[in-house]
Structure 1
Amino acid sequence: MTLRLTWVALACATALTTACGGSNPDPVAPTETVAVDAEDAALKFDATKYTTVNVTVDGVAFKLRQYRIVYVAKPVKMLLAQAGLGNGAVTLADPYAYQSMIVSVPEEQATNQKTALVFLVNNGGWWASPVATTIVEGAKFVSTSDTDNVGAALKAGYVFVNVGTRSRGGAVAEDGRFSGKAPAPVVDAKAAIRYLRLNDALMPGSAERIVMTGTSGGGGLTAAVAASGNSADYLPYLDEVGAAGLKGAGASLASTIKDDVFAAVAYCPINNLGNADAGYEYEYGTVRSNANTGALGGVAFNAGQQPAASTAIAARFPAYVDNLGLKLEGGAALTAQGLRDSTLAFVKAELERQIAKGTAVPALGGNFVTSRATLANDWLTLSGTGSSATVAAIDYAKFINYVAANQALKTVVAFDPVGVTGNRNATTGAWNVSGETNLFGTATARYANFTEWSWNNNAATGDGSGTDDTGLTWAQVTALSSTPLNTQLKLINPLAYLGTAADSAPYWYVRHGMVDRDTAFVMQTLLYHAIRSDTSVKEVSFKFPYLVGHAGNYDVQEAFAWIKAKLDANP
């Protein structure tokens, strides 16, 4: 009976203490005079507390001032020995490393308060990320490299900010509580932005010119933060850790500064986690086989429960897309099939872009060669030859099958597998923790299923998650007012804020590789349409780069030229 009451009790407590309903920002005009409270006073930047770091950029000596800053007034003290919970053990040197940032300032920019801030989060897989930087004594950077974003940023004279955040798989507090549960990574990133805004007049660089960037889970975090600028939904969580720029308490809690960003550069963003499994199975379910999908619990794909689960999960995706109410560029309603058509158009555009610049794109029957495999082209038909060739036809189903052949697909369930029937090791009995399930749940729960199929099919007795332990179906638990899961899913989902009163970043640069199977193409195309439809957004640059897998910072010259153009257009 205790477990059955847990979710109801938590929902009631959350409804009383957390403002989870609206998305109304509470910005303050730049001329407003705001009394500095004790927490803001404690977060005042000290320009004298830096170390000098000597590096080279393009072979030339380059000196920087480097500041290490705890960006909240009430940081959570963490265990130094972090078990990792699926991501390997981590030993921290600093119990506040998850809520710290390292600010590296080129010496020649020490008095420049207008240069941009490159704000980097490092949360691959949505894992917790203690602060770290590659800008260390003696490091060598190359500004002209297509893979060296630090070199490009330093050469351009930007301030480089490495940001640590709490998140899943770790961030266990000294008292044993899981401090990284959603929305902790978004809250921490916003708190770091607020620190920069609070101290904008004292620090090098302009907090009005923050370019936030990340890859994979970090790309998803970037998208969530960039979409939800200045939303009041986060204020109770920000207040809990002593973030800058808050006044009042409870229902009167309000913001005195902003946490929106100028631009988002998101690589392969693992976003919209609550619907990522549905999108994945809608995309890949029909091409799954023993050849491209691994066994679970020692049972081959076709012999186990994966096919039925895939079909059931995929079935909810079309209705989800319909209910969003988004439109295509021409004004027609966006549907799941429309997402496939739109994805196909982006693939076609990328192929023709590559052909035009001289890339040897193989004709039908030729071979595509990646770092993972050499596979025959059975999906792309070209018309003409050389740089004048055009794309005559793309067989979408065969293209998806090619992607799955290049790299095996994630097993079913891809993102929310923990505690799910079949998803356990046949030898050890351990549950599969490969997905993001442990980002969710209460601070005392190792994980909580966050999707309908996984919740209803949870088979891990005693884990506190699923119908088996709570007595509540997914429909019942999500119907409760302000349940923890509803709130967590909303606060990390960019689509919950794009197109609302939140101040989304005006500029977006989003990339997802053409052979990246870590999330569905339709999920990224859906993100694109949500960004494009937001009236706060002035420009979105979106591509599926040719034969690129799950990676980031492979197109640094293009990305930084884009960043420079946006900054130059907004002096």
Structure 2
Amino acid sequence: MQCHFKRCTITALLTAGLIAGCNDSSEETASTPVVDTTVDAENAALKFDAANYTTINVTIDGIATKLRQYKIVYVAKPVKSATTLGMSGGAQTLTDPYSMQTMIVSVSDALVSDQKAPLYFLVGNSGWMASPVTTSVTEGKAFTSTGDSDNVGAALKAGYVMINVGTRSRGARAEDGTWTGKAPAPVVDAKAAIRYLRLNDSAMPGSAERIIVTGTSGGGGLTAVVSASGNSVDFLPFLAEIGAAGIAGSGATATSTLKDDVFAAVAYCPINNLGNADAGYEWEYNATRTDSNTPSLNNVAYSAGPQVNASFALKTIFPAYLNNLALTLENGMALNDSSLKGATQALLKAEIERQIAKGTAVPTLGGNFSLRVGGRPGVAPSTKNIVNDWLTLSGSGTSATVTNIDYAKFLAFVATIQSLKSVVAFDAVGVTGNTAISGETNLFGSASVQYSNFNEWTWANNSITGDGSGIDDTGVSWTQYLLNSNNNLATQLKLINPLSYLNTVADTAPYWYVRHGMIDRDTSFAMQSLLYYAIKNDASVRDVSYAMPYLVSHSGNYDVQEAFAWIKSKVAANP
């Protein structure tokens, strides 16, 4: 579908889920920054102070290393947070009310004058939760660059500048009680941090032309949308509100004198495309669901309650959305509801054969997959053996190849390792009487309400009276609500989705490294394959490395040597 976002028809809005089918025109991106000749007081207020740092002593591979560490509020009008936040895992007390719009910059004392070093830009936002800034670069810390789990040690050893970034997101509350982390707040904050780095590029260590954004889970989703939407004017009004560097004016008249595009994205298990994630999840797992692999809802078993019908209804929505994206496979054929599972199988096959060639012991049909499961602080993981009833190999040793993948049995294998999410997985609150703040529902809605349903089916099936969401409280359909200019849900959905900006005139990052584990059920393989092909279809992308790492669950930074070799090669190719 080719359309300007502001001129999409109602039919297009419904079919494309509003947020991922519009190939934007030049109205969406300022490819050439507008020059503002007036004195920008906010830019002056955001001037980097090179003398304001703390000395941190660490070891890297056993070698004592002195670092300079800067703590910077990266916007001129930061939002003062409430002291206590209701966060995932319980209440969290903030000692710094501006920590969600603060970055911590760590750089080797010997490299403070290096103007070409890449900036390793780490976002948090696990579960799309608000992320007060934190860093593992602390006094006396020992890092290693040689293993596969210490990305910070690898970055410091490589001579990169470490940027830990705090951002608002779901659960964030301002001092006045308003919900300040609503979409697109995390994207806006990350872009504001990038703009600070651009503004002060000549005064700070490293190069703002070599920003590598990285994150895991919700942070992977944030990484994806920030990297896809470089320099889009869609974000300028929101950037103006918080006093981001390089923004002149406000609202619809805001203009930019700086860029916020980035060099590369390193995204692990990115929870992305939230407006369509529930439909994709049920399209993937509907036939797999049973009482044994799907949690009960409100103490009612899957098969005995509303989840069965909900799963089927969501499943049926997905094909129209998918087919409307007009993405293509490597052979030029359409990526659609007939070819998507085959495309995912091909990616899975490629990963398994890659592991076999490396010498990884992959069981033949009838053998056992041995997995380490259940580990947590203070409790060692146990070994779980699951019979291989889905993967057929031919040949032996490192020359073996995959001859068949029974995809339905593969999905059942994944759901055996860890139960699937309940229905609805992402937009759960208010649906079928569910009052728990689960999923990403509280990322959406106005600053005065705790949450808003964000897809059509859940909107129509919200059964909680008085929550301000759904037909029951608003009296209007999903389509009518989205077209109402008195709310910004349509904008929120668009601005939080990387597929809204890939294959448009946005200045998308040229380099992408994306990983989603082979046994990760936190989002569907369908959504990750869509992201991969949307990136691959984008003509401005020079390289995308995508894999489904063997027997890896929902996690990140488990392949540090591979990831940093990839980063190094891209940096070397752009001296």
Tell me the TM-score normalized by structure 1: 0.93
Kept in 1, the 8 Å contact 2:130–2:170? The answer is yes
Task: Name the structure 2 match of 1:4.
Answer: none
Select 2:475's aligned residue among 451, 468, 471: 471
Q: What SS is found at the alignment partner of 2:362?
A: coil
Give me the whole-angstrom Cα distance separating, in 1, the residues matched to 2:342 and 2:486: 36
User: Within 5 Å, which residues of 2 pair with 1:125-136?
Assistant: 125-136=127-138
Q: What is the CA distance between 1:422 and its match in structure 2?
A: 4.3
Residue by residue over 1:131-172, the C-alpha shift from the partner in whole angstroms, topping out at 9 and shown as x without a partner, is 000000000000001000000000000000000000002x21
Kept in 1, the 8 Å contact 2:241–2:250? The answer is no
Kept in 1, the 8 Å contact 2:106–2:161? The answer is yes
Task: Name the structure 1 match of 2:28.
Answer: 24
Task: Name the structure 2 match of 1:360.
Answer: 361
Which blocks of at least 5 consecutive residues in structure 1 are unaligned? 1-19, 424-430
Q: What is the CA distance between 1:201 and its match in structure 2?
A: 0.5
Kept in 1, the 8 Å contact 2:433–2:462? The answer is no
Select 2:76's aligned residue among 73, 92, 98: 73
User: Within 5 Å, which residues of 2 pair with 1:498-537?
Assistant: 498-537=502-541
Verify: 1:112 aligned to 2:114, yes or no.
Answer: yes
Query: What residue identity is the alignment partner of 2:128?
Result: W
Kept in 1, the 8 Å contact 2:33–2:259? The answer is no
Select 1:455's aligned residue among 455, 459, 476: 459
User: Within 5 Å, which residues of 2 pair with 1:77-476?
Assistant: 77-84=80-87, 86-169=88-171, 171-372=172-373, 373-423=384-434, 431-476=435-480
Q: What percentage of residue pairs aligned between the two structures are identical?
A: 65
Verify: 1:553 aligned to 2:564, yes or no.
Answer: no
Kept in 2, the 8 Å contact 1:87–1:127? The answer is no
Give me the whole-angstrom Cα distance separating, in 2, the residues matched to 1:207 and 1:27: 17
Kept in 1, the 8 Å contact 2:227–2:265? The answer is yes
Query: What residue identity is the alignment partner of 2:391?
Result: L
Give me the whole-angstrom Cα distance separating, in 2, the residues matched to 1:541 and 1:518: 21
Q: What is the CA distance between 1:482 and its match in structure 2?
A: 7.8
Q: What is the CA distance between 1:334 and its match in structure 2?
A: 1.4
Task: Name the structure 2 match of 1:12.
Answer: none
Give me the whole-angstrom Cα distance separating, in 1, the residues matched to 2:292 and 2:82: 42
Task: Name the structure 2 match of 1:543.
Answer: 547
Distance 1:197-1:385 versus aligned 2 partners, 3 A rule: same
Task: Name the structure 2 match of 1:41.
Answer: 44
Give me the whole-angstrom Cα distance separating, in 1, the residues matched to 2:236 and 2:25: 12
Give me the whole-angstrom Cα distance separating, in 2, the residues matched to 1:270 and 1:432: 20
Kept in 2, the 8 Å contact 1:296–1:422? The answer is no
Q: What SS is found at the alignment partner of 1:374?
A: strand
Give me the whole-angstrom Cα distance separating, in 1, the residues matched to 2:455 and 2:163: 34
Give me the whole-angstrom Cα distance separating, in 2, the residues matched to 1:258 and 1:36: 18
Q: What is the CA distance between 1:21 and its match in structure 2?
A: 9.4
Q: What is the CA distance between 1:480 and its match in structure 2?
A: 3.4
Q: What SS is found at the alignment partner of 2:372?
A: coil
Give me the whole-angstrom Cα distance separating, in 1, the residues matched to 2:39 and 2:152: 34
Query: What residue identity is the alignment partner of 1:50?
Result: Y
Q: What is the CA distance between 1:34 and its match in structure 2?
A: 5.2
Q: What SS is found at the alignment partner of 1:119?
A: strand
Give me the whole-angstrom Cα distance separating, in 2, the residues matched to 1:514 and 1:552: 13
Give me the whole-angstrom Cα distance separating, in 2, the residues matched to 1:130 and 1:507: 28
Residue by residue over 1:472-498, the C-alpha shift from the partner in whole angstroms, topping out at 9 and shown as x without a partner, is 121322243584111000000000000
Distance 1:23-1:299 versus aligned 2 partners, 3 A rule: farther
Kept in 2, the 8 Å contact 1:380–1:394? The answer is yes
Give me the whole-angstrom Cα distance separating, in 2, the residues matched to 1:378 and 1:35: 68
Q: What is the CA distance between 1:249 and its match in structure 2?
A: 3.4
Q: What is the CA distance between 1:251 and its match in structure 2?
A: 3.7
Kept in 1, the 8 Å contact 2:31–2:506? The answer is no
Residue by residue over 1:89-126, the C-alpha shift from the partner in whole angstroms, topping out at 9 and shown as x without a partner, is 11111110000000001111110010000000011100
Which blocks of at least 5 consecutive residues in structure 2 are unaligned? 1-23, 374-383
RMSD (Å) for aligned C-alpha atoms = 1.5
Kept in 1, the 8 Å contact 2:249–2:255? The answer is yes
Task: Name the structure 2 match of 1:51.
Answer: 54
Residue by residue over 1:173-201, the C-alpha shift from the partner in whole angstroms, topping out at 9 and shown as x without a partner, is 01100000000000000000000000001
Give me the whole-angstrom Cα distance separating, in 2, the residues matched to 1:91 and 1:104: 25
Distance 1:355-1:482 versus aligned 2 partners, 3 A rule: farther
Distance 1:177-1:483 versus aligned 2 partners, 3 A rule: closer
Select 1:492's aligned residue among 476, 496, 500: 496
Kept in 1, the 8 Å contact 2:327–2:334? The answer is yes
Q: What SS is found at the alignment partner of 2:168?
A: coil
Kept in 2, the 8 Å contact 1:23–1:502? The answer is no
Kept in 1, the 8 Å contact 2:121–2:211? The answer is yes
Give me the whole-angstrom Cα distance separating, in 2, the residues matched to 1:543 and 1:392: 19
Give me the whole-angstrom Cα distance separating, in 1, the residues matched to 2:28 and 2:283: 33
Give me the whole-angstrom Cα distance separating, in 1, the residues matched to 2:422 and 2:484: 31
Give me the whole-angstrom Cα distance separating, in 2, the residues matched to 1:207 and 1:441: 33
Q: How many residues get paired?
A: 542
Kept in 2, the 8 Å contact 1:417–1:437? The answer is yes
Tell me the TM-score normalized by structure 2: 0.92
